[in-house]
């Protein structure tokens, strides 16, 4: 049966439920099966209706639905959910025999359909059902969270993230992309921020291109997403499978090698991005150098103390020598500490300046949220 016919029938049933609820707030629609049987008997082919009848009018039956791109399989719940027909969804969910995790030939369940279309009320109704699989995967490994992130449905993303057991870093089976990859690539900054708030891994790479979410954000030309990822401590010098770093890609945007047809103001904004990323890289180098120096200083200090303690073995252990020995050890320790402090004091100061610059650079550009 054609998709338009299905939509007309289910829309009619959904509206009938709504009308009765408006007339009586305490109304409970308990005859949706009978309504469906009556409506579908008039339009389904005899063979398909007979097949459904032989299954005892099973509501988890996968019906053949003809669309412009071919024929797909859907349960009635899938169709109600995909079209955002909340009243029909709730009427079906009130029936004990309904299976919310039933998949079609593409591995899609009702939660996939609702999340992809951004129907928040339907998503919330489905999530309230015991046994709902929030991480359910399609044949391509896409979860409802992937679909919601890909299409920028931030309220749906937040509803899914609020469920215990949600896997924010789950990978698809096409490219090992996470929801953060999808949101960053499409430029949905609110979704990116919601995912990052739930500890999405900011430096995770996909399989085919070796891209991080920041690689994808730069590729999409969304400067606000770039700043959101930088604020989450995204790496700026990680190479993808083609040797491109995030800083390198951003530089290509400024140089016009990646063409976004930028205005003068937009080009300056991207130059500011490059500057912030260069500062981040310089900070990282100094931090690593300081960490290495601190380790060296500790080793030197330890060696000095060890030498002093070793010398003790050759000093006659008499009271008149004990004070001199203690003073010698203390002086060695103080000298090493002084050297290490002054060797790395300047990088520490620069680090604070760089952190402040990166943190405030977005506000300076008036990018908003």
Per the CB < 8 A criterion, the answer to whether 149 and 182 are in contact is yes
Q: How far apart are CA 116 and CA 110, in angstroms?
A: 10
Residue 38 lies in a domain: yes
Number of domains in the chain: 2
Label residues 333-362 b or e (16+ Cβ within 10 Å = b). eeebeeebeeebeebeeebeebeebbeebb
**What's the CATH number where 31 sits?**
1.25.40.20
Residue 300 lies in a domain: yes
Per the CB < 8 A criterion, the answer to whether 89 and 81 are in contact is yes
Domain boundary residue among 112, 130, 148?
130
Question: What are the structure tokens assigned to 328, written together?
Answer: 């010698």
What value does the mean pLDDT take over residues 339-345? Answer: 42
Residue 220 lies in a domain: no
Residue 292 confidence class, pLDDT cut points 50, 70, 90: low
Domain boundary residue among 130, 154, 178?
130
Q: Which domain holds residue 29?
A: 1-130
Residue 86 lies in a domain: yes
> Is the pLDDT score of 329 beyond 50?
no
Residue 188 confidence class, pLDDT cut points 50, 70, 90: very high
Residue 26 confidence class, pLDDT cut points 50, 70, 90: confident
Residue 243 lies in a domain: no
Per the CB < 8 A criterion, the answer to whether 172 and 135 are in contact is no
What value does the mean pLDDT take over residues 285-305? Answer: 54
Residue 261 lies in a domain: no
- Average pLDDT of the residues of the chain: 83
Residue 242 lies in a domain: no
Residue 134 confidence class, pLDDT cut points 50, 70, 90: very high
What value does the mean pLDDT take over residues 112-141? Answer: 98
Domain boundary residue among 85, 113, 130?
130
Residue 346 lies in a domain: yes
pTM here is 0.77
């Amino acid at each position: 049966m054609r998709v338009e016919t299905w939509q007309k029938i289910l829309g009619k049933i959904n509206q009938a439920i709504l009308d009765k609820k408006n007339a009586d707030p305490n109304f409970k629609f308990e005859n949706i099966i009978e309504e469906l049987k009556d409506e579908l008997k008039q339009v389904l082919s005899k063979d398909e209706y007979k097949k459904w009848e032989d299954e005892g009018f099973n509501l988890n039956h996968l019906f053949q639905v003809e669309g412009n791109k071919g024929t797909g399989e859907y349960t009635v719940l899938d169709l109600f959910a995909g079209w955002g027909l909340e009243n029909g969804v709730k009427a079906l969910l009130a029936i004990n025999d309904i299976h919310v995790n039933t998949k079609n030939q593409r591995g899609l369940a009702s939660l996939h359909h609702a999340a992809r279309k951004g129907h928040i009320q339907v998503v919330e109704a489905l999530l309230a059902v015991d046994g709902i699989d929030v991480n359910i995967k399609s044949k391509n490994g896409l979860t409802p969270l992937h679909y919601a992130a890909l299409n920028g449905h931030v309220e749906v993303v937040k509803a899914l993230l609020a469920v215990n057991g949600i896997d924010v870093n789950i990978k698809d089976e096409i490219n090992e992309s996470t929801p953060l990859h999808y949101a960053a690539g499409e430029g949905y900054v609110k979704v990116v921020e919601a995912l990052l708030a739930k500890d999405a891994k900011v430096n995770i790479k996909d399989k085919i291109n070796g891209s991080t979410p920041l690689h994808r954000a730069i590729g999409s030309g969304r400067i606000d997403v770039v700043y959101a990822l930088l604020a989450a401590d995204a790496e700026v010098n990680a190479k993808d499978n083609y040797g491109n770093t995030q800083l390198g890609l951003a530089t290509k945007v400024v140089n016009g090698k990646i063409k976004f047809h930028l205005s003068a103001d937009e080009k300056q904004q991207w130059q500011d991005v490059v500057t912030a990323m260069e500062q981040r890289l310089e900070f990282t180098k100094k931090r690593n150098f300081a960490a290495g120096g601190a380790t060296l200083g500790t080793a030197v200090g330890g060696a000095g103390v060890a030498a002093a303690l070793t010398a003790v073995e050759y000093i006659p252990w008499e009271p008149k020598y004990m004070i001199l020995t203690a003073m010698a050890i203390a002086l060695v320790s103080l000298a090493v500490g002084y050297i290490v402090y002054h060797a790395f004091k300047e990088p520490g100061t620069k680090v604070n300046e760089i952190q402040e610059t990166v943190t405030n650079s977005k506000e300076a550009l008036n990018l908003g949220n």
